[in-house]
Amino acid sequence: MTTHAPVFTERYLLSPDMIADPYGHLDALRDHAPVHWSPLHHAWLVTGYDQVMRCLRDPAVSADRVRPLMDAVPQGAREDAERAFGILSRWMVFNDPPEHRRLRQVFQEAFAARAVARYRAFTEKATRAVLARRATPGRTGDLLADVARPLPALVFARWLGIPPTDGPSFWYWNARVADLVLGTAQEESEYRASLQALVSLDDYLGALVARRRAEPGDDLISQVLREGRVGDSVTEEEFVGMLTQMAFAGGETTSNLIANTVLALHTRPDQLAAVRAEPELARGAVEETLRLDGPSKMSIRTAARDLDLDGRTLRAGDRIFLVTAAANRDPARFPDPGRFDVRRCGATHLGFGFGAHFCIGAALARLVAVAAVRTLVCDHPGLTLADPGRPTWQPSLLNRGLTALPVHY
The answer, yes or no, to whether residue 9 has pLDDT greater than 70, is yes
Which among 372, 373, 371, 365 is positioned nearest to 116, based on CA atoms? 365
pLDDT at 249: 77
The answer, yes or no, to whether residue 6 has pLDDT greater than 70, is no
Q: What is the mean pLDDT of residues 210-239?
A: 94
The answer, yes or no, to whether residue 3 has pLDDT greater than 70, is no
Q: Give percent above pLDDT 90 in the chain.
A: 77
- The domains of the chain, with CATH numbers, are 75-269+356-408 (1.10.630.10)
- Highest mean pLDDT of the ranges 2-6, 190-194, 289-293: 289-293
Q: Give percent above pLDDT 70 in the chain.
A: 96
* Gap between the Cα atoms of 367 and 360, Å rounded: 13
Which among 52, 135, 344, 106 is positioned nearest to 233, based on CA atoms? 106
Confidence band for 82, pLDDT divided at 50, 70 and 90: confident
More confident residue, 72 or 113: 113
* 88-135 per-position pLDDT tens digit: 999 999 999 999 999 999 998 888 888 889 899 999 999 999 999 998
* Gap between the Cα atoms of 198 and 204, Å rounded: 10
Is 376:131 a contact under the CB 8 Å cutoff? yes
* Gap between the Cα atoms of 210 and 161, Å rounded: 13
Confidence band for 351, pLDDT divided at 50, 70 and 90: very high
Q: Is 147 helix (H, G, I), strand (E, B) or coil?
A: helix
* 254-296 per-position pLDDT tens digit: 999 999 999 999 999 999 999 999 999 999 999 999 999 999 9
Q: 161: left (phi > 0), else alpha (psi -120 to 50), else beta?
A: left
Is 160:219 a contact under the CB 8 Å cutoff? yes
* Gap between the Cα atoms of 320 and 310, Å rounded: 14
The CA radius of gyration of the chain, in Å to the nearest whole number, is 21
Q: pTM of this prediction?
A: 0.91
Q: 185: left (phi > 0), else alpha (psi -120 to 50), else beta?
A: beta
143-147 contacts: CB < 8 A, separation 24 or more? 143/259, 143/262, 143/376, 143/405, 143/406, 143/407, 144/255, 144/259, 144/402, 144/403, 144/404, 144/405, 145/404, 147/258, 147/372, 147/376
Q: What is the mean pLDDT of residues 133-161?
A: 92
Q: How far is CA 345 from CA 74, 218, 283, 293, 367, in A?
A: 46, 36, 12, 17, 19
Is 370:283 a contact under the CB 8 Å cutoff? yes
Chain mean position to CA 123 = 19
Give the end-to-end CA distance of the chain in Å, rounded to a whole number. 58
DSSP letter for each residue of 22-69: -HHHHHHHHHH-SEEEETTTTEEEE-SHHHHHHHHH-TTEE---HHHH
Give the dihedral sign, CA 348/95/115/276: negative
